[in-house]
Amino acid sequence: MDEDKGMFNVQQTIGTVLCCRCGIKMQPNAANMCVRCLRSEVDITEGLQKHVVISHCPECDCYLQPPKTWLKAQWESKELLTFCVKRLKNLNKVRLIHAEFVWTEPHSKRIKVRVTIQKEVLNGAVLEQAYVVEYVQQDHMCESCSRVAANPDQWVASVQLRQHVSHRRTFFYLEQLILKHDAAVKAIKIKQMDQGIDFFFGNRSHAVKFLEFLGSVVPTKSRDDKQLVSHDVKSSNYNYKYTFSVQISPVCREDLICLPQRLSSSLGNIGPLVVCTKVTNSIALLDPFTLRHCHLDSDQYWRHGFKSLLTSRQLVEYIVLDIEIPSPPMEAKIGGVRYLLADAQVARVSDFGRNDNIFFVRTHLGHLLNPGDHALGYDLYAANSNDSELEKYKNLVLPEVVLIKKSYEEARLRKRGKPRKYKLKHLEMEVDDRARVDEEKERSDYEQFQRDIEENPELRFNLSLYRNKEYQEESDAGSMADDAAAPLEELLADLVLLDESDEEEDEGMRE
Amino acid sequence: MATRLQFENNCEVGVFSKLTNAYCLVAIGGSESFYSIYEYELADVIPVVKTSIAGTRIIGRACAGNKNGLLVPHTTTDQELQHLRNSLPDSVVVQRIDERLNALGNHIACNDHVALAHTDLDRKTEELIADVLGVEVFRTTIAGNILVGTYCALSNRGGMVHPHTSIEELDELSTLLQVPLVAGTVNRGSDLIAAGMTVNDWTAFCGSDTTATELSVIENVFKLRKAQPSAIVDEMRKSLIDSYV
């Protein structure tokens, strides 16, 4: 600036003076003492804490910040450093420049932090000094750990999930959904019961959150109750145990349902026999003969509370002898799936070749079936149904067969025993000893569930599939009906979406 | 020889006393110890006068003088002036000057030949200084400070200035003053040189906080080791800058 005005500035070289104490040459500073003399004279760490006691919970690796907060921090992490510096009193009188850990043996229960501070001394000279603070780590269990240790089964809220059907397919599907959305991370314990699962939580709000998640994926009806455990008279604190009882609708996919008269007429006279195509938080029903569909909300369903006429256990295998598509083809696209009405000639596999029982039926699977295919359907001809709703219909003519889906049994025979391309994760569940669990039945149910997800891409949408390392490509795999199995592309696509750190998955991705 | 002392537990002896080659002024303290030390050193040679200026004890900073004369501020009372005139030798001219900046000791640093003055002093004051003290007056600053009287202690043999003075400035001042100069501190690192010590050609008095290092620097630059109180000889000296190994 001065140069601009044309002023001539003499260059100033600072001379050296002698330090007033030790006499060494130094640059003049505000105190006119060399740094060593200044440091020996003035100790800016005077009055600061050098020794602090902190409480540490060995169970959950948390540190106590009084009065009540427990901070989770790893050994020698940034959070621990921040916590240690915060615990130093009087540090606001000096300026903190730097803090770092000094290595100590982890089992010594000592943490050492080197703190560098700056403070003004004498006449304006700012002195910087580093000193070491020692923290003694005392072990003290935090309240939550001590509560858990005292009574490991202590829960505050429980969600009892039940579905009164004879199979567990819904629970397998739910298990995968829960894993994908991490809905049960906060559960203390999960117990498998007869016809259901119990979830135990430490907090009522966790249970409520889980309940809401369930309500969004399956049609449910719930009620809640509470039980008084203890109460403090003086402070009027009441401790309760909350129980949420959740019932899932017994209607499942591929079930055949006979709608009650009132419901049928309110839905626009949809044929009393309907097939359930999809169950999410609402039930999708399809009339297989007219291709009319409707959705039933959770509330709507529970107002009527009807049960299925026939469930998928009662599916019988048929051979399709002939398919005829009527000339104006009646097709519909419902929920992303194409259906085509067709007339079919079918015979039961058990009858095939033995006698001449042939049935002429109308089916909605015209787009899938070709002569010679196998299909699964309900045998109403031979069924003896004990349904009050059905009896209420006076002039109902029951069809003999209702075809539900195509069967891939032959293709599956080839693959039997070989590992699948994908894997599924499992929830950790305790199995109640008192529940009568049939191992064989459960295994076949699970197999059926896996087949279901292989065949239905829409079902797979919500789940996470992991690549199976043990699977090897077979040479004749290409000859298999490709739409029957979950294609590799879809598996990989699933893998990319996930950010779970599954070791095998990572290796799979690297491959 | 340099002596360390205190005025009523305060180390700023240059505030409470004024030492020249012809006389010495000291402030009136509660105890006689301050006066007695000066008397012990100087009584045989020069008169030691107890006085006050403008009723205050900060006489070192209020007045400026050398062997030829003494300048006192306009706030000095008549009695004080008379007392000074009586006590001091006849060769010393005591003059009261009318200057707005009346802490003359802070604005003027002088020895028997040359004086440094505050840049804002009146022209008349400057002339008076030249007349009364018989010196050549230079208006200057020291290390950016305008109070030259505080930051410079001067005798006929050497001088000490503010520790932050740059080498170029030391060169320049030394040329002006024709004496060797050193940048140093007194009273344990204090940069108020003239307030912390007072000096003449053969002796110096410093505050008791002065460290041995500072004392040795003072003794070296003012050449006090072998000095005897003898008649001061007018000499032209070459300008030197001492550097201490």
From first to last of its 245 residues, chain B has per-residue pLDDT tens of 789 999 999 999 999 999 999 999 999 987 889 999 999 999 889 999 999 999 999 999 999 999 999 999 999 999 999 999 999 999 999 999 999 999 999 999 999 999 999 999 999 999 999 999 999 999 999 988 999 999 999 999 999 999 999 899 999 999 999 999 999 999 988 889 999 999 999 999 999 999 998 999 999 999 998 755 543 333 333 334 444 44
Q: Bigger pLDDT: A499 or A185? A: A185
Residue A87 has pLDDT above 80, yes or no: yes
Nearest CB neighbour to B191, from listed A19, A21, A32:
A32
**Cβ atoms < 10 Å from Cβ of B52:** 18
Q: Do B183 and A15 touch (CB under 8 A)?
A: yes
What's the pLDDT score for residue A418? 66
Confidence of residue A509 (pLDDT cuts 50, 70, 90): very low
* Contact call for residues B189 and B207 (beta carbons, < 8 A): no
3-state secondary structure B134-199: CCEEEECCECCECCHHHHEEECCCCEEECCCCEHHHHHHHHHHHCCCEEECCECCCECCHHHHEEE
Confidence of residue A231 (pLDDT cuts 50, 70, 90): confident
Q: H/E element holding A129?
A: strand A125-139
Highest mean pLDDT among A153-157, A272-276, A367-371, B111-115: B111-115
Measure A58 CA to nearest chain B CA, in Å. Answer: 54
Parallel, antiparallel or unpaired: strands B114-117 and B108-110: antiparallel
Residue A386 has pLDDT above 70, yes or no: yes
Whole-angstrom distance, CA of residue A211 vs CA of residue A159: 7
Report field, pTM of the whole predicted structure over 0.90: no
Q: Bigger pLDDT: A188 or B210? A: B210
Whole-angstrom distance, CA of residue B194 vs CA of residue B14: 6
Nearest CB neighbour to B166, from listed A15, A20, A21:
A15
Q: Do A32 and B185 touch (CB under 8 A)?
A: yes
Parallel, antiparallel or unpaired: strands A430-431 and A187-193: parallel
Residue A483 has pLDDT above 90, yes or no: no
**By mean pLDDT, which of A125-134, A226-235, A484-493 is the weakest?**
A484-493
Q: Which positions 386-415 of A are in contact with B (Cβ < 8 Å)?
A: none
Listed in sequence order, the DSSP H helices in A43-128 are 78-86
Q: Bigger pLDDT: A89 or B63? A: B63
Residue A366, both tokens:
């015209």
Confidence of residue A493 (pLDDT cuts 50, 70, 90): very low
Residue A168 has pLDDT above 60, yes or no: yes
Confidence of residue A433 (pLDDT cuts 50, 70, 90): low
Residue A487 has pLDDT above 70, yes or no: no
Q: Bigger pLDDT: A430 or A243? A: A243
Q: Which residue of B lies nearest to A29 if distances are taken between CA atoms? A: B164
Sign of CA dihedral B58, B60, B61, B67: positive
Nearest CB neighbour to B166, from listed A12, A32, A33:
A12
**E-assigned strands of chain B?**
2-5, 17-19, 24-27, 48-51, 64-65, 69-73, 93-97, 108-110, 114-117, 136-139, 152-154, 159-161, 181-183, 197-199, 204-207
What's the pLDDT score for residue A477? 40
In this prediction, residues A400-429 reach a mean pLDDT of 75
Across the beta sheet with B114-117, what order do the strands follow? B108-110, B114-117, B136-139
Peptide bond into A67 cis (omega under 30): yes
- Which residues in chain A are closer than 8 Å to B161, comparing Cβ atoms? none
